[in-house]
Structure 1
Amino acid sequence: MQYGRRTLLPRILAAGSVSKAGLLLGLALALGFALIPSPRALANDFARVLEGYRIDFPEDSGAHPDFRTEWWYITGWITDDQGHERGFQVTFFRIGTGIGADNPSRFAPRQLIIAHAALADPASGHLLHAERAERALDPISGAAVGRTHAWIADWSLSLKDDTYRTIIQTDRFDLDLTLIPSGPPLLNGQAGFSQKTPDPANASYYYSRPQLAVNGKLRLDDQSLYVNGSAWLDHEWSSEILPDNAQGWDWIGMNLYDGGSLMAFRMRRPDGSALWAGGTLRQGGKAAQILAPDQLRFKPGRLWQSPRTGADYPVEWEIEANGRRFALRPLMDDQELDGRSSTGNVYWEGATRLFEDGREIGRGYLEMTGYWQKATGL
């Protein structure tokens, strides 16, 4: 399988009697959840998320193929040597299909690897993005157990000696970045057990690496630029499905200028009300504080309508977290990512500034799903 710089459309390979359409039905993206064919019928085919599990490093930085869904999600801000600021996203997803478990062939499509890459460039006025998807098949694509290493051809994310590196090559832009953590992993929820609805059975294992120091190279069209900045990595795995009473979710991951970090999310009902919420606040030099649902409030503000999908996204927000009031403002409005060719989802994932009392106190990313349609994957 060859990927050139001009290859933007992902391919899902069929194997044996499994059709391409059948494999596409196995693709889904959700923050904490994923859907695959007949998910309830296959519920017993995957491991369950249980409270009390101890997350160990670096072993748990790698893949967990016994679980249905997993992702390594990097978002960040970079500044080039000319002073221009941009946002970037690199995400690798691993999806267990529930297909081919009894097939000894290495070509059986047991696992799918999906990757999204995006650059928020204000000069372009919209998000530059590319996506790929492949059946996990070494050496073409895969996600290693024991330490972070996910790849599809010449796209990769890896961890070595507590330093991450990601390499992405697309038609419009390339990234070659190193990302160095400033501290230990941040366990979200109860020691990494992150509940997603009022039912504790709907949960994921979830940790973050905030305040990643970024250095590397960006190619944008014909420009080759040195960049530096800060980023955030989320690693999450689960076997649960998005419940019927959830339309989608809103999430933020913010690096604070005092050295701290703020992660907050809410699951939304179809009427827009909060089904559940959670978060982690770490102020500079202090221990992390777990935020309960009653300590978080998301208030949507100004709407932006996508000229492509017609979806209305609240690109400005007011968020209350344990008595503190924050405001979110985007780097630019058009940061919609159309992932229908790989995950079936359209979502807004964008570089955003964080304010408190009118003062900018941090920056990071805002993710919004379920505004185009219910975040069910296809």
Structure 2
Amino acid sequence: MLRWYSRVMAAWLFGAVFMSSAACLAANDTEALRGVGLPYPAVTPGAALAFPRDHGAHPEFRTEWWYITGWLSDEAGVERGFQLTFFRVRPRIGEGSPSRFSPSQLMLAHAAVADPGKGRLLHAERAERSLPPLAGAGEAHTDVRIRDWSLTWSEAPDTPGVYRARVGAGEFAFDLELRPDGVPVLNGEGGYSRKAPDPKHASYYYSRPHLKVSGQLRAGQGSHRVTGTAWLDHEWSSEIMPADARGWDWIGINLNDGGALMAFRMRGDKDIPVWSAATLRDADGSLRTLEFDEVRFVPRREWRSLRSGATYPVEWSLRLAGTDDAPERTFRIVPLMDDQELDSRASTGAIYWEGAVRLFEGDTELREIGKGYLEMTGYAERLEM
């Protein structure tokens, strides 16, 4: 889904990076550092995504993210959620400077583990200017890193390629291999994903569901061998959030039968939908794209954070309209645990809910049909992007 960077985050991140960068610049670099770069390119329908190139970075666009979420099970069968996101931001500042310390590209990362044993998220953050090889985003394929945090693609002759995600933080760490199952799923119109009635508010967006995961996880003092299933989103855009939108709700679900479901809604004041869409991949690989009036999120149960005071609808019904060939479907979204709020006021200033969920379906008796992640933004305060 449309990941974010707020004005608060951008100001904080640029301010921190700018000060360290400016100290390294010669006096004759000052004007170049202040200079504004070329305009951002527009996101337009009909632009065909090309792989493996589009797995890599698109540094001319305003913002971009690689977003992995998933469920892990350890040796004792204990289930946990995990999340890793790398952001690349182009502030259009310092692009004329010859200095490699110029903050013309910025990198940010969020990582978290949803551990029911702790009853809350374990999370950490990183931020740097792009300075290869320490921090940056490669353009040929997925290769993003901030110091010892990384998400990279590797392959050898005659062997399937894999992603590798590495994170080390105070309360947790993981080193995971993620093996794709099939080709990328193009969301929207062949990868062109609208976010509002005005078609300029859009992104290029694809997903890779059903990544097979194996590796090591440390949560607290315990280290575990884990396996599981994950979801990768890669999205890039040049537009800011629509003026009448307050935030959004998004899910990415790996279905038990091998299918996959992505759905989101942009949400305005008083919970009024601004836009919504979904992509449903059946087990046989066939795709159905749903538009604004075919996707309906309905809150069912709320949870209030004692830390931020924000109230989140942590349990949902999701309705997808039927067609001549398929009936209407109604799903229930239920969290692994209620407290999966990520509070980053000490750094980026943003507060949002992002956590592991189960998906159920049924009329008189619900049955679990998948697992994935739910993201909810704009409940603590409107996001400014």
* Same fold by TM-score greater than 0.5: yes
Q: SS where residue 16 of structure 2 aligns?
A: coil
Match of 1:345 among 344, 347, 350: 350
Q: Which residue of 2 aligns with 1:209?
A: 208
In the alignment, structure 1 residue 134 sits paired with structure 2 residue 128: yes
Distance in 1, Cα, partners of 2:153 & 2:20: 34
1:73 aligns with 2:81: no
Deviation at 1:339, TM superposition (A): 2.6
Question: For 1:246 and 1:44, how far apart are their aligned partners in 2?
Answer: 27
Q: Which runs of 5+ in 2 are unaligned?
A: 1-11, 24-35, 156-160, 322-327
Paired residues of 1:15 and 1:109 also in contact (CA < 8 A)? no
After superposition, where does 1:278-297 map in structure 2 within 5 Å? 278-297=277-296
Relative to total residues, which structure has the larger helix share, 1 or 2?
Answer: 2
Could you say which residue in structure 2 is the equivalent of 1:191? 190
Deviation at 1:286, TM superposition (A): 3.8
- Change beyond 3 A, Cα 1:343–1:57: farther
Find the counterpart in structure 2 of residue 363 from structure 1: 371
Is residue 143 of structure 1 aligned with residue 102 of structure 2? no
Aligned position for 2:237: 238
Aligned equivalent of 1:120: 114
How big is the alpha-carbon RMSD for the aligned residues of Structure 1 and Structure 2?
A: 1.8
**Aligned ranges 1:1-378 → 2 under 5 Å:** 12-15=16-19, 45-161=39-155, 162-322=161-321, 323-357=328-362, 358-376=366-384
- Counterpart secondary structure, 1:373: coil
Instruction: Give the structure 2 partner of residue 36 of structure 1.
Output: none
The Cα of 1:342 is off from its aligned counterpart by 4.4
Most deviating of 340-349 and 64-73: 340-349
Superimposed CA distance per residue, residues 214-253 of structure 1 (whole angstroms, 9 cap, x where no aligned partner): 0000112221210000000000000000121000000000
**Which residue identity is paired with 2:242?**
P
- Map Cα deviations across residues 82-139 of structure 1 (whole Å, 9 max, x no partner): 1100000000000111110222211110111000000000000000000000011112
Confirm or deny: 8 A CA contact 2:21 2:103 kept in the other structure. Answer: no
Amino acid at match of 1:367: E
CA contact (8 A) 1:345 1:376 kept: no
Gaps in structure 1 of 5+ consecutive residues: 1-8, 20-41
Deviations 1:127-156 (A, max 9, x none): 000000001111221011110011011000
Instruction: Please report how far the alpha carbon of residue 18 of structure 1 lies from its aligned counterpart in structure 2 after TM superposition.
Output: 5.8
Matching residue of 1:24: none
* Letter aligned with residue 13 of structure 1: V
Q: Distance in 1 between matches of 2:56 and 2:352?
A: 26
Q: Aligned pairs, how many?
A: 347
Identical-residue share of aligned pairs (%): 54
Aligned to 1:14, the other structure's residue is in SS state helix
Deviation, structure 1 residue 43: 10
SS at match of 2:269: coil
Provide the rounded CA distance (Å) in 1 between the counterparts of 2:101 and 2:42. Answer: 26
Q: Which region of structure 1 is more displaced relative to structure 2, 97-106 or 60-69? A: 97-106
Change (3 A) 1:240 1:43: farther
Amino acid in the other structure paired with 2:231: W
Whether the 8 Å contact between 1:12 and 1:135 is mirrored in structure 2 is no
Deviations 1:147-192 (A, max 9, x none): 0011011000001233100000000111000001111000000000
The structural deviation recorded for 1:343 is 3.6
- Residue pair 2:41, 2:60 contacting (<8 A) in 1 also: yes
In structure 1, what residue type is equivalent to 2:350?
A: N
Q: Find the residue that maps to 2:139 and give its secondary structure.
A: coil
CA shift at 1:17, angstroms? 8.3
SS of 1:88's equivalent in the other structure is strand
- Tell me the TM-score normalized by structure 2: 0.87
In 2, Cα distance between the equivalents of 1:286 and 1:292? 19
Q: 2:28 corresponds to which residue?
A: none
Q: Structure 2 CA distance, aligned partners of 1:55 and 1:309?
A: 40
Please state whether the residue corresponding to 2:17 is helix, strand or coil: coil
